[in-house]
Structure 1
Amino acid sequence: MKTLILKDIVKNSSSNEQGMVLFESLQNAYLSKDSLILYVDADLSMSSSFLNSSIGLFLDKYGLNSFKQTVKFKGSKNQFTRMADYISKYSALYPV
């Protein structure tokens, strides 16, 4: 299992462009049948644009079960809550 440190692969976590960078990493892991740990620093805020073009796009293309099989999350409780809330709301709006 590979650890992916978010701040090491993106310049910021507020743009669609940088969200696509994360999406590519997630997609590569999924297509290679690898799993990874996504580590998000406690002080890193993730905008909805960033999440839509990374996590949201992955959910659209591959579904929630594939996300759960591919990505494990590591970070602060606050970051975990933000990510879980995003995925929950996204899944409710757009069945994945």
Structure 2
Amino acid sequence: MYDRELECFWSVERLQQALDETSIHMVPTVFTGTCSSMEQLKTLLETKSQFYDGVVEGVVIRKEANQQLHAKAKLVRDDFIQHIDKHWTTKGVMKNHLRFF
């Protein structure tokens, strides 16, 4: 969630607190902590998906402090990327709107 007044994205914890009062669910967290190697990151890509019989399509890595997101990256499995018909970057931008805030 982007906070226009503070000009930053919220941390996972802060977003979860806001969503607790709604029926919106967060994407599952598969690991919290510090990864010390690329091999450890690659191991996260072997995590079993909670949504289908297979592994996750990828993982999002977040660096947070003081209830704010400071950096984010997404690692996507190469076998997942090969099955995408049309990549999101080829589509137009569409703003999300929330009515309960």
TM-score where L is the length of structure 1:
0.31
More helix by share: 1
